[in-house]
Amino acid sequence: MIVLTHFGNGHRIALNVDLIEKVEETPDTVITLVNGTRYLVQESLDDIIDKTVCMRARILHLSQTMPEQPDGYRLRLVRGLEASVTEKIDGPTGGEVDER
């Protein structure tokens, strides 16, 4: 979520950036969500992009610095499947799955 300022009443709003379809400057900044809802905000297009980048960087940083959970797992980035993992999923004939 990023915090923005509603243009009409000056109230702060928190917006889920995963739901943003587009941001336009017409010259006012209009944010359109994937469900069609539109917000007129005081921040510029560049400010919204900067806030979004900072928010995503913060999430990545937190995922790497969080202490281990009681089950021993931490949040981590997954960069891709290794060949051995793919073979276990697809199996040698392309349809078998390792149930372990």
* pLDDT per residue as tens, the chain (100 positions): 999 999 989 999 999 999 999 999 999 999 999 999 999 999 999 999 999 999 999 988 887 777 766 666 666 667 766 544 444 444 444 444 444 4
Domain ranges of the chain: 2-90
Q: What does the pLDDT read at residue 94? A: 47
Q: What does the pLDDT read at residue 45? A: 97
Closest alpha carbon to 33 in 21, 50, 51, 49: 21
Q: Rounded CA gap, 2 and 61, in Å?
A: 16
Q: Rounded CA gap, 42 and 44, in Å?
A: 7
Q: Rounded CA gap, 47 and 53, in Å?
A: 10
